[in-house]
Chains A and B, each alone.
Chain A
Amino acid sequence: MHPTTLPRHELAGLHVEVVESRNADLVGIAGDVVDETMQTLVVAGASGSKQVPKAAATFRFRLGGGEAQCASERASGRGPRAERVIVDGERLVARPARRTETTTPNKWR
C-alpha cells in the first residue's frame, strides 16, 4: 500500500483520525477502522466505535513503512517511520468493493 493507492485500497485495520469536518463533533475521533459502508467508516477508538460519515469529514490515515504485512504494518504504524496521508472523505464515498475499481486519478493531498 502506498499513499497514492490508499483511497482505492482496503481501509480496515488502518489507524485514522478525523482532522476536519463540517460537523464539529466528528473532529478528533481517532482509532482503527474496523468496517466500512458506502457512506460511513466505523472507527473503533478508546471510547467505543463511532460511525463517521465519509462525505462530511477529512481523514488522516497512518501508514506503516513500505509494503509491510498487516500485523507488522500495525506495529510499525506506531513507529517513527509511519507516513500520514490526508484524504478528503468525499473521495471515499463508494461501496467498499467498488472503491478499488475507480480509475479516476487519485487526488489525495
Chain B
Amino acid sequence: MAASIPEERVERLHDLAREAAREGADDRARSYVRRARRVAERHRLGLPTRFKRFTCDDCDAYLVPGRNARVRTQDGAVVVTCDCGTHARYPYD
C-alpha cells in the first residue's frame, strides 16, 4: 500500500482537472482543483509540485499554457500568468 487514500484522491483530482480543462470545461476543472486543495488541507498533505505549477493560486483554475495561461521565461525564473491576472514564479533547475 504505497499511497494513502487522500494522496490517491489528490492525484486523481489532478488528472480529472487536467482532462476537464483540456476539454474546455473550465468550471468543472476549477471545482476539481478546489476539492483537491480541500482534501489536502484536511489531511495536512502538501500538494504535488506539478499540481502547484499547473493551478492558479488565486482563482483555482487548472492552467493550460497557451489557452488560459501565459508562460514567459525570465532572468532566473519562469513566470506563469493566469487569465485572471495572477502571476506565479518559480526558479529554474
Contacts and interface: CB of A to CB of B under 8 A. Distances in A.
Interface residues of B, number: 18
Interface string A7-24: 011101100000000000
Nearest to B38: A97
Given A5-B5, A97-B38, A98-B42, A70 B15 contact: yes
A61 to B, nearest CB: 14
B15 A12 contact: no
A75 interface: no
The binding surface of chain B is classed by DSSP as helix
Interface string B22-60: 000000100110010011011100000000000000000
B9 interface: yes
Contact size range, A? 10 to 19
B12 interface: yes
Interface centre among B5, B35, B39 (most CB of A within 10 A): B5
Interface of B: 5-6, 8-9, 12-13, 15-16, 19, 28, 31-32, 35, 38-39, 41-43
Given A100-B5, A101-B42, 18 more contacts: A5-B5, A8-B5, A10-B8, A10-B9, A10-B13, A12-B16, A13-B12, A13-B16, A35-B28, A35-B31, A70-B16, A71-B19, A96-B35, A97-B38, A97-B41, A97-B42, A98-B42, A100-B9
